[in-house]
Chains A and B, each alone.
Chain A
């Protein structure tokens, strides 16, 4: 559409520009797609052939041993449902705590803002270490409960900063002045004006939190004991590492070789697909919020 409306003179450089853009994009696309494709074919090919470089374009000696190995682990379904719960609930809590705080910190007139920002940023660097944190969780009776995934660290300072700087830059200062003349409070302004104008950043921050919950295995590793509370990533990591066992050399305690060797890497690659597929489905829903510009101008008018 735009191409047609352009005048002829500019068209030449613009066509050249477009050509370069598309060419570069194609190269980027290919360089990213091939290794991903490789992961897929490697997950169904004979691992010996994969690691000796005989699988390049088509899968060889196809078998689904890796996937059956992954799904025969009964824990994987508990893992899926736990992770789903932690992710949905956790992300909701994250946003509930982070967005209002980010809005407040974006207000120039908020006197404590610099002091609070600094105290928040300090936590990005300084921490007491794992042991005091663990003791704290234990004292709060959070270890081995689902809450340890949800409540602690529900404000990620990095995300807070990003959200704050978005609020700062995308919501014109005068907007609240005008609104407050009409008797609009901060609560109301935040809910009715600031949030709707910031769909893009809300979805980005939401995505960051969501993926962080989805990929989190450390919390499960340190704080969870019962198998029925473990998230998916712990289960998958266990399965994944079961094929790394040979790396120490079978001799450490007798031969544990040939049989599993052949399929070892299938599990490795299969795990990636099993864990990534669900999150892949979410992305398009979020993507659409920052696909097209939010019309700030129209609000202003």
Chain B
């Protein structure tokens, strides 16, 4: 009986998938077909999703209701916004997990190897019930690489969101201040120093107060790893290509894995930043302010800007709508006018467009076919688009000719980015934005694009083959992961405190040799060796 039912289900799924392939839009007929055979009985599933705290309740997401409907499932969602790591440990260790867990990297590769048997190897299910997932694997083979663990099994499915830029960090300077003081946009570190000095000494914002300008500001350093919007991108001037911000210092140069924390070029950068800090050109609170304050300060006071030179995701996000027109995005700098070093930038395309383990299934689930059917719905290109941006009709407009465009926010006061996060699963969801999908992006993504223009030359110049660390596509064994995370914790604690100490107080020249020795003691060479091994393997199999 049970077999018969599954057989029928499989058949129907096949039919549904076929019709899904022929025309992505007439999804309504699919529902009818499925509903007919199912005699309206829905399979009940449980699921956890780690969502963004801004994201609205799932019961209000129309696309999700429709997707569940089409898959013939009814999902009881547990929507987690906070303290997931704490919750996760007990859930996994007790084996008490729901049918589905959704959310990019909510379950890590390390979890898969630490909790064997807990998650379902979806390889077979994808073949039978996941044509959309299979389509993603066929069109973008790298997504299959991301999904496949060291043991060759697929426990978690990745996301691909296609439209995001090649870097997280854009560089902004206050053009109005430059104009006020009759200065040119700097092209190298020396000129930058002079410009910042002028910002400091003169009344650059023209409000009569010579002392309220903050020439340079950057994001809080953090205590675990570097994030985005840090001056570490300036190492691009010295030829270092950071990958995904290189938060732990690892980067690749000519196929060799290195760590910049013991690199002479890092020393040069820190010395330069110390020169700026000593001259009062960097916000004195740069190491103690939190991210909220970092953002607030840049919003200045009405029309009066406060910050001269900084990094951010997008200019209105960084300085607010009022001040945004004052700022221009700036090209990467050379170290000095006569520097011949190749210029690079942080290359973050992989981490911005791909994500690991966006959805996984419990091995104990009683309804694996139904669960896979639902997953398959998520990877339908038109559904994926709604996973990322919100429902058709309210968030996305159908142009009628097979193309779509993102609609502006219903609340005019809200920016498109916030609206996306509020309306849908956004970047946390499981999705596949096919390269063939015709979609016009919202104003926020368009301006990100245009603000990336000045960085284009540097980004295009990066040799993606030999100078980018493909972390996204590499799986480490549990033992290597453990070793690396222990060593990294020690290394970062030392490196981050020295970084901030040298910038604010100086002393790098005197302490450098000892420091390099100490960093060595934390086991960084062992880590480089491990990463190199995996990198070489990856290259070989490519």
Contact-size category for B: 35 or more
CB neighbours (8 Å) of A47 from chain B are 292, 296
B 26-66 to A, binary, CB cutoff 8 A, 1 in contact else 0? 00000000000000000000000000111000000000000
The residues in B between 148 and 173 inclusive whose CB is less than 8 angstroms from any CB of A are 164, 168-169
Within 8 A of A (CB), among B305-323: 312-314, 316-318, 320-321
- B292, B352, B420: the one contacting A261 at CB < 8 Å is B292
Shortest CB–CB separation between residue B382 and chain A, in angstroms?
20
A259 to B299, CA, bound (A): 12
Is B1 positioned at the interface, with any CB of A under 8 Å from its CB?
A: no
Inside 8 A of B227's CB, which chain A residues have their CB? Answer: 248-249
Q: A247 touching B420 by the CB < 8 A rule? A: no
The 5 closest A-B CB pairs, nearest first, are A242-B53, A253-B427, A255-B417, A257-B317, A251-B168
> Is the CB–CB distance between B445 and A254 below 8 Å?
yes
With A251-B169, A257-B418, A265-B292: A238-B53 Cβ-Cβ less than 8 Å: yes
On whether the beta carbons of A52 and B293 are closer than 8 Å, the reply is yes
- Cα A241 to Cα B53 in complex, Å, equals 7
B261 CB within 8 Å of chain A: no
Does B297 sit within 8 A of A, measured CB to CB?
Answer: yes
**Known contacts A138-B94, A221-B87; A258 and B321 CB within 8 A of each other:** yes
Residue of A nearest to B409 (CB): A259
Whole-angstrom distance between the Cβ of B30 and the nearest chain A Cβ: 30
Q: List 21 A-B contacts (CB under 8 A).
A: A47-B296, A52-B293, A52-B296, A134-B94, A135-B94, A221-B86, A222-B90, A227-B78, A246-B291, A247-B291, A247-B292, A250-B317, A251-B313, A254-B164, A254-B420, A255-B448, A256-B54, A256-B420, A258-B321, A259-B413, A260-B54
A245 adjacent to chain B (CB < 8 Å): yes
Q: How far is the CA of A246 from the CA of B291 in the complex (A)?
A: 7
Alpha-carbon gap, A258 to B415, bound state (A)? 7
A135, B78: Cα distance in complex, Å: 20
Asked whether A261 and B295 contact (CB < 8 A) given A242-B53, A242-B81, A245-B53, the answer is yes
Tell me how many residues of A have a C-beta within 8 Å of chain B.
Answer: 40
- Give the residues in chain A near B444, CB-CB below 8 Å: 254-255
Chain B residues closer than 8 Å to A251, beta-carbon distance: 168-169, 228-229, 312-313
Q: Mark A110-144, 1 if CB is under 8 A from B, else 0.
A: 00000000000000000000110011001000010
Within 8 A of B (CB), among A249-290: 249-261, 264-265
Is A48 in the interface zone, CB < 8 Å from B?
Answer: yes
Q: Is B263's CB within 8 Å of the partner chain A?
A: no
User: Given known contacts A222-B86, A250-B313, is B417 in contact with A256 (CB within 8 Å)?
Assistant: yes
Q: A253 to chain B: which residues have CB within 8 Å? A: 352, 426-428
Indicate which residue in B78, B312, B318, B426 contacts A254 across the interface (CB closer than 8 Å): B426
CB < 8 Å neighbour of A51 from B82, B87, B292, B415: B292
Q: Is A237 an interface residue (CB 8 A)?
A: yes
Q: Min CB distance, A226 to chain B, in Å?
A: 8
Q: Chain A interface (Cβ within 8 Å of chain B)? A: 47-48, 51-52, 130-131, 134-135, 138, 143, 221-222, 225, 227, 237-239, 241-261, 264-265
Q: For B317, what are the chain A residues with a Cβ–Cβ distance below 8 Å?
A: 250, 255, 257-258
CB within 8 Å of A: which residues of B?
52-54, 78, 81-83, 86-87, 89-90, 93-94, 96, 164, 168-169, 219, 227-229, 290-293, 295-297, 299, 312-314, 316-318, 320-321, 352, 413-418, 420-421, 426-428, 444-445, 448
Taking a contact as CB atoms under 8 Å apart, the answer to whether B415 and A259 are in contact is: yes
Q: Determine which residue in B228, B317, B413 has the highest number of CB atoms from chain A within 10 A of its CB, and name it.
A: B317
Contacts of B295 in A (CB 8 A): 246, 257, 261
Other than the given A255-B316, A258-B321, A265-B292, 7 more pairs (CB < 8 A) read: A51-B297, A130-B89, A222-B87, A245-B54, A248-B227, A249-B229, A255-B314
How distant is the Cα of A138 from the Cα of B414 in the complex, in angstroms? 44
Cβ–Cβ contact A131 & B291, under 8 A? no
Contact status A237-B314, CB under 8 Å = no
Closest-by-CB residue of A relative to B319 is A258
CA distance A250 to B352 in the complex (A): 12
Q: B81: which A residues are within 8 A, CB to CB?
A: 238, 241-242
Q: In the complex, A131→B352 CA distance in Å?
A: 35
Shortest C-beta distance, A234 to chain B (Å), equals: 8
Q: How far is the CA of A250 from the CA of B312 in the complex (A)?
A: 9
Contacts of B296 in A (CB 8 A): 47-48, 51-52, 261
Q: How far is A246 from B318 in the complex, measured between Cα atoms in Å?
A: 11
Q: In whole Å, how far is B350's beta carbon from the nearest beta carbon of chain A? A: 14
* Other-chain contact of A259, B291, B414, B448 (Cβ < 8 Å): B414
Given contacts A245-B54, A246-B292, A258-B321, contact A225 B78 (CB under 8 A): yes
Per the bound structure, the CA–CA distance linking A245 and B295 in Å amounts to 13
State the CA gap A265–B94 with chains docked (Å): 37
**A135, A138, A238, A256: which contacts B82 (Cβ < 8 A)?**
A238
In the complex, what's the smallest C-beta–C-beta distance from B74 to chain A, in angstroms? 16
A130: chain B residues at CB < 8 Å are 89-90
Q: How far is the CB of A216 from chain B (nearest CB, A)?
A: 14
Q: Which residues of B contact A244 (CB under 8 A)?
A: 53
Nearest neighbor of A253 in chain B, beta-carbon distance? B427
Q: Which residues of B contact A252 (CB under 8 A)?
A: 168, 228, 427
Find chain B residues with CB under 8 A from A249 CB: 168, 219, 227-229, 291, 313
What residues of chain A lie closer than 8 Å to B290, measured between beta carbons?
A: 247
Chain A residues lying within 8 Å of B293, measured Cβ to Cβ, are: 51-52
Known: A221-B83, A241-B53. A255 touches B89 (CB 8 A): no
Q: Is the CB of A131 within 8 A of B53?
A: no
